[in-house]
Structure 1
Amino acid sequence: MMEYKVKIDSFEGPLDLLLHLIQQLEIDIYDIPAAEITNQYLMYVNTMQQLELDVASEYLVMAATLIAMKSRSLLPDHESDEEDFMDEEDPREELARRLLEYKRYKEAAEKLHELEEERAKVHSRPPADKLFESNAEGPLHVSIFDMLGAFQKMTRRKKLAVPPKATVRREELSVEKRMHALKEKLRSAQSPILFDDLFDSHERDELVISFLAVLELMKQNEIVVSQNGNFADLYVTAGGNDDEK
Structure 2
Amino acid sequence: MENRRYVMEYKVKIDSFEGPLDLLLHLINKLEIDIYDIPAAEITNQYLMYVNTMQQLELDVASEYLVMAATLIAMKSRSLLPDHSSEDDEFMEEEDPREELTRRLIEYKKYKEAAVKLQELEEERAKLFSRPPADMLFAQAGEGPLNVSIYDMLGAFQKMTRRKKLAVPRQTTIRREEISVETRMKSLMNKLTKAKEPILFEDLFQSHEKEELVVSFLAILELMKQNEITVTQNGNFSSLYVMSGGKNK
TM-score, scaled relative to structure 1: 0.91
Instruction: State the alpha-carbon separation in 1 of the partners of residues 175 and 235 from structure 2.
Output: 40
Instruction: State the alpha-carbon separation in 1 of the partners of residues 63 and 216 from structure 2.
Output: 26
Tell which has more relative contact order, 1 or 2 (C-alpha 8 A, sep 6+).
Answer: 2
* 1:22–1:28 contact (8 Å) kept in structure 2: yes
> What secondary structure is seen at the aligned counterpart in 2 of 1:70?
helix
- Which residue number corresponds to residue 151 of structure 1? 157
- Which residue number corresponds to residue 169 of structure 1? 175
- Which residue number corresponds to residue 206 of structure 1? 212
Return closer, same or farther for 1:128/1:180 CA change in 2, 3 Å cut-off.
Answer: closer
Verify: 1:196 aligned to 2:208, yes or no: no
Q: Percent identity?
A: 76
Instruction: State the alpha-carbon separation in 2 of the partners of residues 115 and 128 from structure 1.
Output: 22
Verify: 1:21 aligned to 2:27, yes or no: yes
* 1:225–1:234 contact (8 Å) kept in structure 2: yes
Residue 124 (structure 2) aligned to one of 96, 105, 118: 118
Instruction: State the alpha-carbon separation in 1 of the partners of residues 52 and 247 from structure 2.
Output: 32
> What secondary structure is seen at the aligned counterpart in 1 of 2:90?
helix
> What secondary structure is seen at the aligned counterpart in 1 of 2:71?
helix
> What secondary structure is seen at the aligned counterpart in 2 of 1:173?
strand
- Which residue number corresponds to residue 222 of structure 2? 216
Verify: 1:47 aligned to 2:53, yes or no: yes
Q: How does 1:92-111 map to 2 (within 5 A)?
A: 92-111=98-117
* 2:229–2:246 contact (8 Å) kept in structure 1: yes
Deviation at 1:195, TM superposition (A): 0.0
* 2:9–2:181 contact (8 Å) kept in structure 1: no
- Which residue number corresponds to residue 138 of structure 1? none
Return closer, same or farther for 1:143/1:170 CA change in 2, 3 Å cut-off.
Answer: same
Report how many residues are paired. 236
Deviation at 1:2, TM superposition (A): 4.0
CA distances 1:178-226 after superposition (whole Å, capped 9, x unpaired)? 0000000000001100000000110000000000000000000000000
- Which residue number corresponds to residue 145 of structure 2? 133
Instruction: State the alpha-carbon separation in 2 of the partners of residues 63 and 90 from structure 1.
Output: 17
Q: Which runs of 5+ in 1 are unaligned?
A: 135-140
Instruction: State the alpha-carbon separation in 1 of the partners of residues 173 and 197 from structure 2.
Output: 35
Deviation at 1:240, TM superposition (A): 2.2
Q: Which runs of 5+ in 2 are unaligned?
A: 1-6
> What secondary structure is seen at the aligned counterpart in 2 of 1:55?
coil
Letter in 2 for 1:99: L
